[in-house]
A and B are shown apart, each in its own frame.
Chain A
Amino acid sequence: NAGVIQTPRHKVTGKGQEATLWCEPISGHSAVFWYRQTIVQGLEFLTYFRNQAPIDDSGMPKERFSAQMPNQSHSTLKIQSTQPQDSAVYLCASSLVGTGNTLYFGEGSRLIVV
C-alpha cells in the first residue's frame, strides 16, 4: 500500500499561468478530499468526491479553481491564472467511506506563484 500519492511535490509557476496538481488515492478508498494549507489560514477544505462524484465543493474559489475525478484512481486540481495568494501546500486525502473512517493524507504539493 503506497498511500496517497501526490504529484508534483513542488511547483513554481509564474503569475497568470495554469497549475495542475494530481492525486492518486489509496486503492479501494471511495472518498477523496482536497485541502489547502497555509501558515496564516491553516488547513482549509476545498472539495470532496465520493465514488468519483463531486459531493461538496463549497471551499473552492469559484472562478479559477476546478477539480475533477475522471476515474477511481486519480483526481486533479486545476488552478487557472494563478495568483501569488494561491501559494500554499495542496493536500489530497482519501478514506474508505466519507470521514466516518480515518482520513489518509498525501505528502502534499507545494505551489509557489511568483
Chain B
Amino acid sequence: GQQVQQSPASLVLQEGENAELQCNFSTSLNSMQWFYQRPGGSLVSLFYNPSGTKHSGRLTSTTVIKERRSSLHISSSQTTDSGTYLCALVNTEGADRLTFGKGTQLIIQP
C-alpha cells in the first residue's frame, strides 16, 4: 500500500482562515520534509522536520513519530499560499530516497 497518505486532497478556504494539512505514513521514519509547489512551478522545501515542531513565519510543522503523522499548519492564510503542498519521507530502509504523498491542493479565495 501507499507509504505516504496526505489529507485532504484539496482544501478551499477564505483568506485569513487557518489551514491544517495532514500527512500519515505507514513505515518507520528516518526523515520528513514538506514542500510547496505552485502550478507549473518547481518544488520549494518548506521544512525538514523528522520530529517535533518547527516554525517559519505563518507556517508550523509538527511531526509525531510514534503516531506516524506530520502536519502543516498555515495561519492567517493568504491568496499567495495557494498551490500544492507535498510531504515526503525517507524511511529507515529507503537508502536516502524521498517517497512523496500525492499532495494537498490548497486554494485560498480572496
Contact = CB atoms under 8 A, between A and B. Distances in A.
B96 A45 contact: no
Interface stretch (A21-29, A80-88, A94-102): A94-102
Interface residues of B, number: 21
Interface of B: 31, 33, 35, 41-45, 48, 86, 88, 90, 95-103
Interface in A91-114: 91, 93, 98-108
20 contacts: A33-B98, A35-B100, A43-B100, A45-B97, A45-B98, A48-B97, A55-B95, A56-B95, A91-B43, A93-B43, A99-B31, A99-B97, A99-B98, A100-B31, A100-B96, A101-B48, A102-B33, A102-B48, A105-B44, A106-B42
B96 A105 contact: no
B70 to A, nearest CB: 15
Contacts of A100: 31, 96
A33 B97 contact: yes
A70 interface: no
Contact of B103 (A35, A42, A56): A42
Given A42-B102, A43-B86, A98 B43 contact: no
Q: Which of B44, B95, B97 is most buried by chain A, counting CB atoms within 10 A of its CB?
A: B97
Interface of A is mostly: strand
Interface residues of A, number: 24
A106 B43 CA distance: 8
